[in-house]
């Protein structure tokens, strides 16, 4: 495998999607071959999983959420991420393995170490080479998203306390693996965040 997997993580509204699109454009300008994708809807099966979460009367237990996201992840790695990496692509993925540790682990109370183990299996060992963690007060992120005015999903509808646990979970993940997981203060203008993202990714790709 010769490509690189870069994941973008953070609470709702922290700027993951915005920065992924900007980073992709910039990497293309640098002549890099880039792909972007997102979890869980990177595959048809993943789209079905996301829709299942939104079905009325569907209330998965925390561990069931874990299994469903892991199922989507295994399919995503097999259908898209590994083939891209094999072709030497830089792969940008909007949420990935750490999201399950933060959301279902730290925020919903499933053992984070169990989730880490399942992630190794579900990814077939395809773990991120670099993770950009957009750190933001979740109240600010939810406010940004409300401005967009679209319907909130199952996770966005959770209480603010849930989102604060997600944020703390991500910070734990970062503390445990500071070399892989790079913390970016996301409460700054998009162009400022983008410049820091570029600097981090440039340094990473030079060393890769």
Nearest alpha-carbon partner for 128 in 76, 92, 176: 92
Tell whether residue 10 is a contact of ligand ADP (CB under 6 A): yes
Interacting span for ligand ADP (CB under 6 A) from 16-24, 46-54, 157-165, 167-175: 16-24
At 51, list the tokens.
Answer: 């829709």
E-strand ranges in 32-110 read 34-38, 90-94
Q: Which of 13, 40, 105, 138 binds ligand ADP (CB under 6 A)?
A: 13
State the nearest-atom distance from the C-beta of 26 to Mg ion, in Å. Answer: 18
Contact flags string 2-21 toward Mg ion, x per CB under 5 A: --------------xx----
Q: Which of 17, 53, 71, 205 binds ligand ADP (CB under 6 A)?
A: 17
HSE of 137 in the Cβ direction (CA atoms, 13 Å)?
Answer: 5
In this structure, what are the phi and psi dihedrals at residue 7, rounded to the nearest 5 degrees?
A: -110, 150
Task: Supply the angle between the helices 112-122 and 62-76 in degrees, to the nearest 10.
Answer: 20
Tell whether residue 151 is a contact of ligand ADP (CB under 6 A): no
HSE of 96 in the Cβ direction (CA atoms, 13 Å)?
Answer: 27
Q: Which of 32, 80, 144, 164 binds ligand ADP (CB under 6 A)?
A: 144
- Residue whose C-beta lies closest to Mg ion: 17
Tell whether residue 150 is a contact of ligand ADP (CB under 6 A): no
Tell whether residue 193 is a contact of ligand ADP (CB under 6 A): yes
Please state, as a whole number, how many other Cβ atoms lie within 10 Å of the Cβ of residue 55: 9
Interface contacts to ligand ADP, rule CB under 6 A: 10, 12-18, 144-145, 147-148, 189-190, 193
């Amino acid at each position: 495998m010769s490509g690189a997997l870069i994941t973008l993580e953070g609470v709702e509204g922290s700027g993951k999607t915005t920065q992924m699109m900007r980073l992709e454009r910039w990497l293309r300008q640098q002549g890099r071959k880039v792909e972007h994708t997102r979890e869980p809807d990177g595959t048809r099966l993943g789209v079905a999983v996301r829709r299942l979460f939104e079905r009325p009367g569907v209330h998965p237990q925390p561990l069931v959420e874990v299994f469903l996201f892991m199922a989507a992840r295994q399919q995503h790695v097999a259908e898209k991420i590994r083939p891209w990496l094999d072709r030497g692509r830089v792969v940008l993925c909007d949420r990935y393995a750490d999201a399950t540790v933060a959301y279902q682990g730290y925020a919903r109370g499933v053992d984070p170490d169990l989730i880490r183990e399942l992630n190794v299996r579900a990814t077939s060992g395809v773990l991120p080479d670099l993770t950009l963690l957009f750190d933001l007060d979740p109240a600010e992120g939810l406010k940004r998203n409300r401005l967009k005015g679209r319907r909130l999903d199952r996770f966005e509808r959770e209480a603010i306390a849930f989102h604060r646990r997600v944020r703390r979970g991500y910070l734990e993940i970062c503390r445990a693996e500071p070399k892989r997981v790079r913390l970016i203060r996301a409460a700054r203008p998009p162009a400022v965040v983008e410049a820091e993202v570029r600097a981090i990714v440039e340094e990473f790709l030079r060393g890769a």
